[in-house]
Amino acid sequence: MTLNVTAQPAPCGAVVRGIDLRQTLDAHTLAAVRAAWLQHQVLAFVDQTLTLEDLERFALCIGPYGQDPYFESVPGHPHVAQVKREADETSTIFADNFHSDWSFLARPPAATLLYGDVIPPVGGDTLFANQYAAWDGLSPAMQALLKDKQGVHSARRGYARNGRYGEGDKGRSMAIRFDDSALATQTQPIARVHPETGRTALFVSPGYTIGIDGMPDAEAQPLLLELFRHQAKPEFVYRHVWQQGTLLLWDNRCLVHAATGGYDGHRRLLHRITVGER
Write out pLDDT tens, residues 80-109: 999 999 999 999 999 999 999 999 999 999
Cα 249 to Cα 192: distance, rounded to the nearest angstrom: 20
Identify the pLDDT of residue 267.
98
Q: Which residues pair with 256 in a beta bridge?
A: 129
Where helices occur in the chain by DSSP H, the ranges are 27-40, 52-62, 131-136, 140-146, 156-159, 217-231
- pLDDT tens, position by position, for the chain (278 residues)? 789 999 999 999 999 999 999 999 999 999 999 999 999 999 999 999 999 999 999 999 999 999 999 999 999 999 999 999 999 999 999 999 999 999 999 999 999 999 999 999 999 999 999 999 999 999 999 999 999 999 999 999 999 999 999 999 999 999 999 999 999 999 999 999 999 999 999 999 999 999 999 999 999 999 999 999 999 999 999 999 999 999 999 999 999 999 999 999 999 999 999 999 99
Q: Are strands 126-130 and 237-240 parallel, antiparallel or unpaired?
A: antiparallel
| b/e burial code for range 81-115 (CB count within 10 A of at least 16 → b) | bbbbbeeebeeebbbebbbbbbbbbeebbbbbbbb
Strand 185-189: give its sheet, edge to edge: 185-189, 150-154, 209-212
Cα 20 to Cα 140: distance, rounded to the nearest angstrom: 45
Long-range Cβ contacts of 155-164 (<8 Å, 24+ apart):
155/69, 155/70, 155/102, 155/104, 155/181, 155/182, 155/184, 155/208, 156/182, 156/183, 156/210, 157/207, 157/208, 157/210, 158/70, 158/182, 158/207, 159/69, 159/70, 164/92
**90 contacts: CB under 8 Å, gap ≥ 6:** 171
What is the distance of C-alpha 57 from the center of its chain? Answer: 20
Cα 115 to Cα 270: distance, rounded to the nearest angstrom: 5
Cα 8 to Cα 238: distance, rounded to the nearest angstrom: 8
Cα 89 to Cα 110: distance, rounded to the nearest angstrom: 31
- In contact, 245 and 47? CB cutoff 8 Å: yes
Cα 55 to Cα 52: distance, rounded to the nearest angstrom: 5
Cα 252 to Cα 231: distance, rounded to the nearest angstrom: 14
Single pTM value for the model: 0.98
**231 contacts: CB under 8 Å, gap ≥ 6:** 98, 129, 131, 134, 202, 204, 205, 256
Identify the pLDDT of residue 141.
98
pLDDT digits (tens, 9 = 90+) for 159-206: 999 999 999 999 999 999 999 999 999 999 999 999 999 999 999 999
Residue type, 84: K
What does DSSP assign to residue 143? H
Cα 181 to Cα 154: distance, rounded to the nearest angstrom: 9
Residue 264: strand, helix, or coil: coil
